[in-house]
Structure 1
Amino acid sequence: METPVAEIIDGIGPRLRAMRLERGLTLADVAERTGLSQSGLSRLETGHRQPTLDLLIPLAEMYRVSLERIIAAPATGDPRMHLVPHRHASGGVVVPITRYPGRIQVFKHVLGPREPRLTSHEGHAWLFVLAGTLRLLLGEDEHLLAPGETAEFAASTPHWFGPADGSSVEILHLFGPRGDAAVPRVSPRGAGRPAGDR
């Protein structure tokens, strides 16, 4: 059964509002980052303004999602290519990128401000910061990671990670449930510095 075009269009505004709220942003924040007017964004989210490409493209770029994700048209092609985000119990939005039970798993996290709460469990974690500044607590140590920086640690170490300030942070998270870790085979000599030494 085909999804009516009107139904697809009606879902765009609420979806955009949900994306904004998930990231802890106000309409003023989005207007400043995209160059769109605050009133126009409000009308778009409430369905009082027609969603056009000149509005949706800058929003997709700012939220770092595809237009397909904003529009949510019926899925076509390989269903494995359609990533489904969900809210994580500890806060933020998680997008599973791989689904290999028992093997290294990869997620994209979008984390908003939250209170630090150390946790520990089996496994091995590797984090890569995409945007924002990540605050990582490992036991009694605190590290700040900028975009492009990484951290790797045993998940049995009491840990917590989230944004370092009042905005959101985006990361890639590799997790080996059995303690498996990413194995670097090629790396330039003397490149970079240890994560967290800032």
Structure 2
Amino acid sequence: MVDLLDQVGIRLRAARKARGWTLDELAARASVSASTLSRLESGKRQATLELLVPLTRQLGIRVDDLLADEAPDPRVRRPAIRRDGMLIVPLAPEGSPIHTYKITYPPTKQCDELKVHEGYEWLYVLSGRLRLRLGEQDLVLTRGEAAEFDTRTPHAMSAAGGRPAQVISIFNETGMRMHTHSESEIG
């Protein structure tokens, strides 16, 4: 396990540089010598509250912001969603500000009816062919192609041809609800 104080200097330097301040500028603002600040940032000086409090006040951050957090498990372990023949696999953790999914559209004879809702979507075709009806456009995207659009434009998607289309889709919060919940859950 990483010692909580190991990253203080690195994070302190990053916070200072993010504000565009030199060592001398921050040192003067916090009434600390530039050499002390330099040693603190390089890890050659032990961090104390007496040193950190005036520095963090000037930087507009908390002392806790300088302490290393134990990195959470980055793996996403959420169940797949089956909806209207699609398989929707979450690729981001619950509560993530960006909603990312791998969606498999089954082969179908016809595209769903056009829908309009608040939101924004970006998609990337992993395999197969994706039919994207977007307003007056009727497009077929193939492996490696991407599209982005405002979901207030009437749209519908389905696999084109006789095999499934796998797509990575990224939505904002509103777009995510429309694609992963049933109509009764949304209303």
TM-score by length of 2: 0.49
TM-score by length of 1: 0.46
